[in-house]
């Protein structure tokens, strides 16, 4: 299915790109979240009329994400968890725990912005966690998991 992207989408295309995607992806994700429109002649004309407005909105969201990144980037989080004798955690440190620790630091972050490809942290020590605020704004923060008896 041919669609016109209304914003930059990672691994898919830029604003205004006409790309071919699977129809289920378009119907279930791109269209409901207003990230794309079907590539018909009428929609192409409507898009070209709104292109300046969409580009302005995209630059504003990018600037806002870069501003948030400047506040968050240098932070090192310390999270304390109960630990067994071998150094393994009884539970784990997940995205909810990281969001709560960020709130205590005074930074607003959502679960969807945290990237943990290996899953929850289950060991004590320092871990690098990815944060993606925008498709063009990604960085790593350090989470130090401290064990307590």
Check residue 50 and give its pLDDT: 86
Q: How many Å apart are CA 89 and CA 21, to the nearest integer? A: 43
pLDDT level of residue 73 (50, 70, 90 thresholds) = confident
* 92 contact partners, CB below 8 Å, separation of at least 6: 119, 120, 121, 122
Q: Do 66 and 132 meet the contact criterion of CB atoms below 8 Å apart?
A: no
Predicted pLDDT of residue 9: 87
User: What pTM value is reported for the model?
Assistant: 0.74
Residue ranges of the chain assigned to CATH 3.10.430.100: 70-147
Please, what is the average pLDDT of the chain?
A: 89
Residue 85 has pLDDT above 80, yes or no: no
Alpha-carbon distance of 2 to 133, in angstroms, equals 27
| Range(s) of the chain covered by CATH 3.40.5.10 | 2-67
Average pLDDT of span 5-27: 91
Residue with token string 């279930």: 28
More confident residue, 84 or 131: 131
**pLDDT class for 121, splitting at 50, 70, 90?**
confident
Q: What is the CA radius of gyration of the chain?
A: 20
Please give the structure tokens belonging to residue 77.
């989080």
- Which overall architecture, per CATH, does domain 70-147 show? Roll (3.10)
Q: Which CATH architecture has domain 2-67?
A: 3-Layer(aba) Sandwich (3.40)
Whether residue 20 is predicted with pLDDT greater than 90 in this model: the reply is yes
- What's the rounded Cα separation, in Å, for the pair 27 and 24? 5
Instruction: For the chain, give the percent of residues with pLDDT over 70.
Output: 99
């Amino acid at each position: 299915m041919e669609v016109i992207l209304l914003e930059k989408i990672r691994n898919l295309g830029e604003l205004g790109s006409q790309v071919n995607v699977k129809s289920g992806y378009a119907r279930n994700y791109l269209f409901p979240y207003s990230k794309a429109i079907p590539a018909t002649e009428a929609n192409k004309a409507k898009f070209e009329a709104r292109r300046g407005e969409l580009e302005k909105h995209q630059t504003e969201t990018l600037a806002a994400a870069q501003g948030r990144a400047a506040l968050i980037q240098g932070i090192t989080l310390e999270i304390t968890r109960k630990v067994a004798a071998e150094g393994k955690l009884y539970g784990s440190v997940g995205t909810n725990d990281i969001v709560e620790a960020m709130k205590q630091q005074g930074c607003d972050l959502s679960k969807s912005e945290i990237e943990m490809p290996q899953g929850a942290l289950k060991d004590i020590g320092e871990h690098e966690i990815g944060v993606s605020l925008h498709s063009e704004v990604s960085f790593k923060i350090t989470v130090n998991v401290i064990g307590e008896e």
